[in-house]
């Protein structure tokens, strides 16, 4: 029996009618991220790789990845401004002032997992207009998960689709379709919650205990948002990073993390919640603002709302 040719990321976007500039941006990001990954080993401890001209140890991986992704995103000519979690000020692509997109970037999500060799990722949000904008104004969001296999998940508002890195017959790395129009499984199976439980609100603590006592969900938490998200995307359930006494807005950042991932999540049939509204409806003038994050199967988010009321 002949095996059908696997569908590449580019072919998939063409077949879904993703507009040319956006398609080229997503495809370019996928290639840039693959390339970046080849350099990771040099930057793991700052001791294995080169020293700079002053004889200092090389930059940490997250700083290096940020520079690499930003430089190469600018080179696509498709981006006029980048808001990055690693930059104090947004980067203006002065060579492309009329480029169609403004992007947000969490270049290395889950950096505490670098040293332990566990999964981490990169998250990108794409807007046509400059920020501040609500997440519902995103025209696309995607993430790359650097795990035992490398996956890329994207949405342009027309479902959520997942690809895996593999090699073509000539040895070139490509992203091939793993699943299109992903739907969060019902009932959910797993949950992951960040932050110090002794600092959670009492109502939330009860809700969390009920996740295993009543809902019978299993714990899955690795401390990388992208990887914990991938757990619930494939197995259903709930991920939360709630407020604590010390951090009343939780830990995750609205612009770089919560909004793009909520966009992908809601496109897969899930519900998002900030404690007040969908994460796609939250306004923030400050691009560095944090927000409580709750992403779950619709029924679980409804139960959460009742529990917190």
The site for ligand F6P (CB under 6 A) is made up of 109-110, 112, 194-195, 223-225, 228, 241, 251
Please report whether residue 189 would count as binding Mn ion according to CB under 5 A: no
Task: Show the tokens assigned to 260.
Answer: 């793009």
Residue 251 interaction partner, one of ligand F6P, Mn ion, none, beta carbon < 5-8 Å per kind: ligand F6P
Assign 203 to helix, strand or coil.
helix
| Residue whose CB is less far from ligand F6P, 100 or 292 | 292
- Spatial separation of the C-alpha atoms in residues 192 and 201, rounded to whole Å: 17
CB 119 within 8 A of CB 146: yes
Report CA Rg, the chain: 19
C-alpha dist (Å) from residue 164 to 7, 109, 170, 232: 11, 19, 17, 18
What is the closest distance, in whole angstroms, from the C-beta atom of residue 41 to ligand F6P in the complex? 21
| Residue whose CB is less far from Mn ion, 109 or 189 | 109
The owner of tokens 């040293």 is 115
| Residue whose CB is less far from ligand F6P, 32 or 261 | 261
| Residue whose CB is less far from Mn ion, 109 or 162 | 109
What is the closest distance, in whole angstroms, from the C-beta atom of residue 71 to ligand F6P in the complex? 22
- Spatial separation of the C-alpha atoms in residues 273 and 281, rounded to whole Å: 9
Stretch that binds Mn ion, among 16-24, 38-46, 86-94, 98-106 (CB under 5 A): 98-106
Residue 215 interaction partner, one of ligand F6P, Mn ion, none, beta carbon < 5-8 Å per kind: none
Residue 223 interaction partner, one of ligand F6P, Mn ion, none, beta carbon < 5-8 Å per kind: ligand F6P
- 150-155/140-146 β-pairing: antiparallel
Please report whether residue 62 would count as binding Mn ion according to CB under 5 A: no
CB 84 within 8 A of CB 70: yes
Residue with the shortest CB distance to ligand F6P:
225
What is the closest distance, in whole angstroms, from the C-beta atom of residue 114 to Mn ion in the complex? 12
Please report whether residue 162 would count as binding Mn ion according to CB under 5 A: no
Residue 194 interaction partner, one of Mn ion, ligand F6P, none, beta carbon < 5-8 Å per kind: ligand F6P
Of the candidates 78, 100, 109, 200, which one interacts with Mn ion according to CB under 5 A?
A: 109
Of the candidates 76, 99, 106, 200, which one interacts with Mn ion according to CB under 5 A?
A: 106
What is the closest distance, in whole angstroms, from the C-beta atom of residue 33 to Mn ion in the complex? 15
What per-residue string of b and e applies to 230-265 under the rule 16 or more CB within 10 Å gives b? Answer: bbbbbbbbbbbbbbbeeeebbbbbbbbbbbbbbbbb
| Residue whose CB is less far from ligand F6P, 192 or 236 | 192
Element (H, E) at 160: none
| Residue whose CB is less far from Mn ion, 106 or 189 | 106
H runs (alpha helix) in the chain: 9-15, 20-38, 61-75, 202-213, 225-235, 259-267, 298-308
Binding site for Mn ion (CB under 5 A): 106, 109
């Amino acid at each position: 029996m002949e095996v059908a040719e696997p569908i590449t990321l580019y072919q998939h976007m063409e077949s879904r009618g993703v507009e040319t500039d956006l398609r080229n941006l997503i495809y370019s990001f996928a290639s840039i991220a693959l390339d970046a990954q080849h350099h990771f080993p040099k930057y793991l401890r700052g001791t294995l790789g080169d020293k700079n001209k002053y004889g200092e140890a090389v930059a940490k991986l997250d700083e290096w990845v940020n520079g690499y992704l930003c430089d190469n995103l600018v080179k696509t000519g498709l981006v006029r401004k980048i808001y990055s979690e690693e930059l104090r000020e947004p980067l203006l692509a002065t060579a492309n002032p009329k480029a169609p997109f403004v992007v947000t970037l969490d270049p290395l999500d889950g950096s505490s997992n670098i040293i332990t060799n566990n999964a981490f990722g990169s998250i990108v949000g794409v807007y046509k207009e400059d920020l501040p904008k609500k997440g519902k104004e995103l025209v696309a969001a995607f993430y790359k998960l650097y795990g035992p296999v490398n996956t890329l998940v994207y949405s342009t508002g027309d479902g959520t689709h997942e690809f895996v890195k593999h090699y073509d017959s000539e040895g070139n790395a490509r992203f091939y379709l793993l699943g299109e129009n992903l739907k969060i499984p019902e009932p959910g199976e797993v949950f992951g919650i960040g932050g110090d439980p002794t600092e959670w609100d009492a109502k939330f603590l009860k809700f969390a205990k009920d996740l295993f006592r009543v809902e019978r969900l299993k714990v899955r938490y690795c401390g990388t948002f992208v990887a914990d998200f991938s757990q619930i995307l494939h197995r259903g359930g709930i991920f939360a990073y709630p407020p604590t006494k010390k951090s009343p807005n939780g830990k995750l950042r609205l612009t770089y993390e919560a909004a793009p991932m909520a966009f992908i999540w809601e496109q897969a049939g899930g519900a998002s919640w900030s404690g007040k509204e969908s994460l796609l409806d939250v306004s923030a003038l400050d691009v560095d603002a944090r927000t409580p994050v709750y992403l779950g199967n619709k029924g679980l988010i409804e139960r959460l709302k009742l529990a917190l009321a």
